Amino acid sequence: MATIEHNLHEVRRRIASACAAAARPEQSVTLLVVGKTFPAADLRAAFDAGARCFGENYVAEALDKISALADLRERIEWHLIGPLQANKTRAVAEHFDWVHAVDRLKIAQRLSEQRPAHLPPLQLCLQVNISGEPSKSGLTVDEVPDVARAVAALPRVRLRGLMAIPAPAADVAAQREPHARLRELLMQLQRQGLALDTLSMGMTGDLEAAIAEGSTLVRVGTAIFGAR
Ligand SMILES: *Cc1c(COP(=O)(O)O)cnc(C)c1O
């Protein structure tokens, strides 16, 4: 079996076994295949092996791949998971389905204004600096409720939930802590009346911990395509 197909099966097996351990249905976790630095041909191989949701970090690189895979556009969901600068929002509003790393109201406002009328609303997550690392992007936990309410009120975007990249931790118990905090924050927003359903958390190194704490979408690159 080709490597990418084999790796994809292995990641699906990890997700299935983490779901079983958490008594959660396997379909409650979406696998987002993260292709940054890998060529469109590798993404096509992943598509052929059943992948349908693709995550990219860099806007220019992603636009090249979206155009290289234009024949699959109707069957692929494209997710921007990297940081987004204000001067790149138009291209993102026009070409992506999801944006995970929204960390300012202004970015969401621009995406809403620039989302073409013929497309469905752009699906958004707010990025939270859940480990409180000074050098990392993302909203602080305290900032999230006000920004979430404001983003949820915008017309051409739909706020779906929260995303985080927790600081690396040595063992699963330590990995679970920040994921649990993100889940609690999502539940707090739900109690305040926001209809949110997405916890974008978990990568190659911590997807079991993330699924144990309620992740609904894991973003996996290395385990599928290899080291970058
Ligand atoms: C690169 C990246 C991933 C994938 O990480 P792996 O460890 O390669 O699985 C997930 N999320 C974000 C935001 C990334 O930048």
Q: What letter does residue 115 receive in the DSSP assignment?
A: S
0.75 cut: is pTM over it? yes
Task: Specify the ligand 1 atom closest to the Cα of 228.
Answer: 8
Q: Are 141 and 117 in contact (CB under 8 A)?
A: no
At 1, is the pLDDT very low, low, confident or very high (cuts 50, 70, 90)?
low
Closest CA to 126 of 114, 110, 144: 144
Give me the CATH topology for the region 4-225. Answer: TIM Barrel (3.20.20)
Q: List ligand 1's pocket residues with C-beta within 6 A.
A: 34, 36, 57, 81-82, 165, 203-205, 219-223
User: What would the mean pLDDT of 211-224 be, rounded to a whole number?
Assistant: 98
User: What contacts 217, CB < 8 A, 6 or more positions away?
Assistant: 29, 30, 31, 32, 53, 198, 199, 200, 201, 202
Please tell me the predicted confidence (pLDDT) of residue 198. Answer: 98
pLDDT digits (tens, 9 = 90+) for 65-124: 999 999 999 999 999 999 999 999 999 999 999 999 999 999 999 999 999 999 999 999
Task: Specify the ligand 1 atom closest to the Cα of 165.
Answer: 13
